[in-house]
Structure 1
Amino acid sequence: MTSAESRPHAPLPSGYQLIPEAPGAEEYLRLRRESGLSPRTREQSAGALMASWAWASVRTEDGALAAMGRVLGDGTWYFHLADIATDPAHQRRGLGRVVMEDLIARIDAAAPPHPYITLLADPPGQRLYGSLGFVDSSPSVGMRLPR
């Protein structure tokens, strides 16, 4: 049983709605920028929005994007969580936890036993990720090819 299955999902605060779909391109770019993620271009957003395995978006009562996250993967054993972001005006309300728990539950429901779930943990999210059961991937090290 995974950590996502062993505890109930965090409740969504009143006034918010979890939607299993991608945000619009401008919303995606705005939330990345305002939440402190690296900026991306409209061209880069197109691939992210179309080619992700799953999305979770949290919207306010008036439809504004408050939080988001997505999963990249093959749908069977490899899944990578990315673009986990919460609008600074909506932080400290558990929205990031709701997004993460939703995406993890969807992976657990779709994948055969023992999927490989990864993410890159920037300092602001490390406590949340640890509380959800993520651990350091040592001896493996995350690496990237700069461009």
Structure 2
Amino acid sequence: MLNYKISKHSPTTQDFIALRAAIGWGETDAAMAKISLANSLFHVIIEQMNDDGSLGELIAMGRVIGDGAMYFYIQDVMVIPQYQGQGFGNILMKEIEAYLMLTAKKGATVGLLAAKGKEAFYCRFGYQKRPSDSLGNGMCKFVC
């Protein structure tokens, strides 16, 4: 069994960039990543523990962004491919959901964009697929 540590702080910019690359999300500008991480509302990271008790590789992370009142957005729920399917995504989401239960008040909206094929994972936490009878298609725009 892998020894790991869960922390509620931002990863380093370098670890964040490396994790995004490891899951196939491409290159990320370091200055942009640093600002983005600093402006997040909540972070949860999972790091591998080495045999000597020191922290090793960042293997998973998730964060929440938004205005901190009416709108919250779950972003960057990522697990390195070789650690997927071992429950780390569930750990991330349980930590995120605990944060949201304390912070998001009645009437707030929590959104996310699921990676293709990952929709069922988020449905287990009460998120709805779009489109549905009451919700239109989710949309986004990437600046190139």
Distance across 1 between alignment mates of 2:6 and 2:38:
19
CA contact 2:4–2:48 (8 Å) conserved in 1: yes
Higher relative contact order (CA 8 A, sep 6+): 1
1:32-70 deviation line (CA, Å, top 9, x unaligned): 111122431112211221000000001111332010011
Trace 1:30-49 onto structure 2 (pairs within 5 A): 30-49=18-37
Question: In the alignment, what sits opposite 2:83?
Answer: 90
**Alignment TM-score, normalising by the size of structure 1:** 0.83
Runs of 4+ in 1 over 6 A off after TM superposition: none
Q: Deviation at 1:14? A: 5.5
Consecutive unaligned residues of structure 2, counting only runs of 5 or more, are 51-55
Change (3 A) 1:124 1:17: farther
Matched, 1:123 2:140: no
Change (3 A) 1:55 1:47: same
Greater shift, 96-105 or 38-47, is seen at 38-47
Question: In the alignment, what sits opposite 1:53?
Answer: 41
**Alignment TM-score, normalising by the size of structure 2:** 0.85
Trace 1:1-147 onto structure 2 (pairs within 5 A): 15-62=3-50, 63-138=56-131, 139-147=135-143
Q: Percent identity over the alignment?
A: 25
TM-align CA RMSD: 1.7
Distance across 1 between alignment mates of 2:137 and 2:5:
36
Greater shift, 18-27 or 109-118, is seen at 109-118
